Structure 1
Amino acid sequence: MSEPGAVRRPTPSEVAAFDAAWTRNTGTELPYAHWLRATCHERWVRLHSLPESKQYPDTEAEYAVMLTRYLAELDELRAGADDLWVVTSSYSSAARPVRRSAALVELLPRPRLWRSFTEDDEDEEYRIWTHHYLSVVRRDGPELPRLLRLVADEVVSGVMITVPAATWVHHPYDGGADLILPTTAERDRIAGMFTDWLPAQGFPGACLTGCVHS
């Protein structure tokens, strides 16, 4: 269970401000984590979480490498911010929000609902709704490493980490992370800082490689 004060529930006014910032900075009304690399293509870079692009850690030493990489990326992005905003999700066949998985409820209790949305047409017989929740997490608290391990083990998916102004987004997944930066210049700076963690084929628009990442 989380320690008292380690995880905070954002206020409704904070969520409203975040919602406006998200739309302003990502330009999408449907905040699917896996859509970010398309909607923000020119500001996107992908970094792998293990050497030689290995997808899953098998040992505690590899988990340590994975965590070190994730946290190094976040530390560079957060620019000293102590609090990080974490997006987690639940899924249902109706618009009514449903409870998140037991692992998320234990780790990040009492989140604030952000959005419920679907990309399916109203005429479709079966529609999948995504319900996004927001939690504020301390960078130096125990929850962030535990969350990243759940992501690496595919226990949870669709996690996004950012700040209230949503000027950048870190979307960890099993095997790496998609990063959305404020500008293409910042994308190139981050890619240059973590060159050894880039996919072998580089990233879109990369001045470092000249290759296009698939």
Structure 2
Amino acid sequence: MTRSWDLHWPDSEPLGWVLRQNWPDRWVRFHSLPGSKRYADTEDERAEILRRHRTVLADLHGSDAADLLVISTQWGIPAPNHAPFDPDGAWPWRIVLNPLDREAGPIYCWVQSEVDEQALNAILLNAADDKGQFVIADKGLSWLYCPYDGGADVLVGGPEERDSLRDRYSDWLSALESGL
């Protein structure tokens, strides 16, 4: 996995905000609620969050969650065999330092390579509730989907692919020139 990561995302760590900064020509952000609302207040809004996430993921990959990788990060020292999601299926991958504050301590990256539909929905809703940081990818790591509390940063193969994806979901874009 490290070899594939370094091939597609050299000099980047699996942190959404780092990836967005390092690969702006491959990045687009989609908001998960109308009007750029950050958090859901109702079940209908939670359903809309899932619908938008799952729509873009299906566009990137199809509908089979079992073929996805999920990278989760945990700050600080983890308990043995403890991952932020399904500890039975996750394995430790790498330890990174915060590029903005190398003194802040380690960030542990866990990977789960088989995710069912229910687990994927839970991961997406945890991200929406700011209860975890995740990177979802195809097994070849050719694209990355980084959900957060307000939407998702998506990184694809290049500017043309990014522009095509951005155009398909233009109603979900930020009104800000920065795209944030």
Q: Shared fold by TM > 0.5? A: yes
- Matches of 1:90 and 1:49, distance apart in 2: 23
- Matches of 1:172 and 1:53, distance apart in 2: 14
- Matches of 2:174 and 2:92, distance apart in 1: 34
**Which of 118, 142, 145 is the equivalent residue of 2:118?**
142
Q: How many residues align?
A: 179
**Which of 133, 140, 161 is the equivalent residue of 2:110?**
133
Counterpart AA for 2:23: C
Partner of 1:152: 128
Partner of 2:172: 197
**Which of 69, 75, 78 is the equivalent residue of 2:52?**
69
Partner of 1:60: 43
Asked if the contact 2:68/2:113 (under 8 Å) is kept, the reply is yes
Q: Please identify the structure whose Cα radius of gyration is greater.
A: 1
The CA deviation at 1:80 is 5.6
Asked if the contact 1:87/1:134 (under 8 Å) is kept, the reply is yes
The CA deviation at 1:154 is 1.3
The CA deviation at 1:149 is 1.0
Asked if the contact 2:81/2:87 (under 8 Å) is kept, the reply is no
Partner of 1:115: 94
Query: In the superposition, relative to structure 1, how do residues 100 and 193 fare at CA in structure 2: closer, same or farther (>3 Å)?
Result: farther
Partner of 1:179: 154
Asked if the contact 1:137/1:144 (under 8 Å) is kept, the reply is no
User: Does residue 84 of structure 1 match 2:68?
Assistant: yes
- Matches of 2:61 and 2:102, distance apart in 1: 42
User: Does residue 213 of structure 1 match 2:179?
Assistant: yes
Deviates more, 1:22-31 or 1:44-53: 22-31
Query: In the superposition, relative to structure 1, how do residues 127 and 199 fare at CA in structure 2: closer, same or farther (>3 Å)?
Result: closer
- Matches of 1:169 and 1:142, distance apart in 2: 20
Asked if the contact 1:90/1:101 (under 8 Å) is kept, the reply is no
Q: 1:108-160 CA distances to partner (integer Å, 9 max, x unpaired)?
A: 53411111121479xx995410010100234x52101111111111121x210
State the Cα RMSD in Å: 2.6
Counterpart AA for 2:94: R
